[in-house]
Amino acid sequence: MIDLRQIQSAAERIHGKVHRTPLFSTSALGDRTNLRLHLKCENFQKTGSFKSRGALNKVLSLSDAERSRGLITVSAGNHAQAVAWAARQVDAPCTVVMPADAPRSKLDAVLGYGATTILHPDRATLFDRLEQERKLSGATFIHPFDDPVVLAGAGTAGLEIVEDFPEIQALVVPVGGGGLLCGVACALKAIRPKARLIAVELEAGPGLKPALDQGKPVPVTRPGDTLADGMTPPFVGAIPLEAAQRFVDEIVTVTEREILSAMALLLTRAKLYVEGSGAAATAALLAGKVRLPENARTVAIVSGGNVDLSRLCAALAGGSGSEREGAGASSRAGTSRA
């Protein structure tokens, strides 16, 4: 488990190197949900998502020897960008194993930070490919959602929420591998133990509920074609699962259509450009999936804003979440190989 002291230490370590993201009130969306709704806007974070918090906390905690061997990670996009960015801050080489169908904007960003990408065709075996590459290179692995130092970094978002909105009664969090959920849960429940914590999963491919049912991390089938690619890792981490067992009060699911509707409302009413994962918590509230008392003081985490503009426009115009731009872009910096 991640204790509050670890999160506070992470906040000190990364202070001034990442943004303290805004917590906006939104009467337009609050009126639709009958809540006093606030949005924690991690789409304004470095690299466009909360992931930079944990990646930088981990990279800054490494020894010079660990950094000199290079860094390696696996991710569909946001963690990949965050590790590539963090590696650049300390001038360490970085390799990222990514699914071959990763959104082009995320691939381009990783390459732009100077990392090498390895595109792998099967999301279910991404971690197997990662381990193969790690053994060959000897690089230091930065786990996206099951490393206590990474999770403590993610928890700094929760620490900021409680500091900026101490009267919080409910926090709604999107779940993929569980890193964000774990970090903010440990911060929230340490300071405001009576506040409700609601986890939001994809209806088409939940991972947390199956893991809770079996009492251990389990491989799960995730949708490959979704605007919420950040919620589709092959399993939920062991540390996040333990946090969920202790702290999660409710789990709800959202559909692709509900996510797209929330993205449109966040764009038009809150003026926020967000990705599918970033809209999932708001989608759960707008769709009536979460039952809270009227005017409950609620925060929905907008976890990221990295989405291909052309893909979003196509989806909003009536296309499906499966319409995606090809990921085979050339690099402006860094290299990519299959």
Q: Which pairing describes strands 36-41 and 23-25: parallel, antiparallel, or unpaired?
A: antiparallel
| pLDDT value of position 325 | 37
Q: Which pairing describes strands 196-202 and 250-254: parallel, antiparallel, or unpaired?
A: parallel
| pLDDT value of position 105 | 83
| pLDDT value of position 123 | 82
| pLDDT value of position 324 | 38
Which residues are tagged catalytic? 51, 303
**What H or E segment, with its residue span, contains residue 240?**
helix 238-247
| Alpha-carbon radius of gyration of the chain | 18
- CA–CA separation, 40 and 24 (whole Å): 7
Would you list the DSSP string of 111-137? HHTT-EEEEES-GGGHHHHHHHHHHHH
Residues of the chain with pLDDT under 50: 320-333
Total number of residues shown for the chain: 338
Domains (range + CATH), the chain: 4-49+148-316 (3.40.50.1100), 51-146 (3.40.50.1100)
| pLDDT value of position 212 | 97
In angstroms, the Cα distances linking 181 to 41, 84, 269 are: 15, 22, 26
**What H or E segment, with its residue span, contains residue 148?**
helix 148-164
| pLDDT value of position 333 | 44
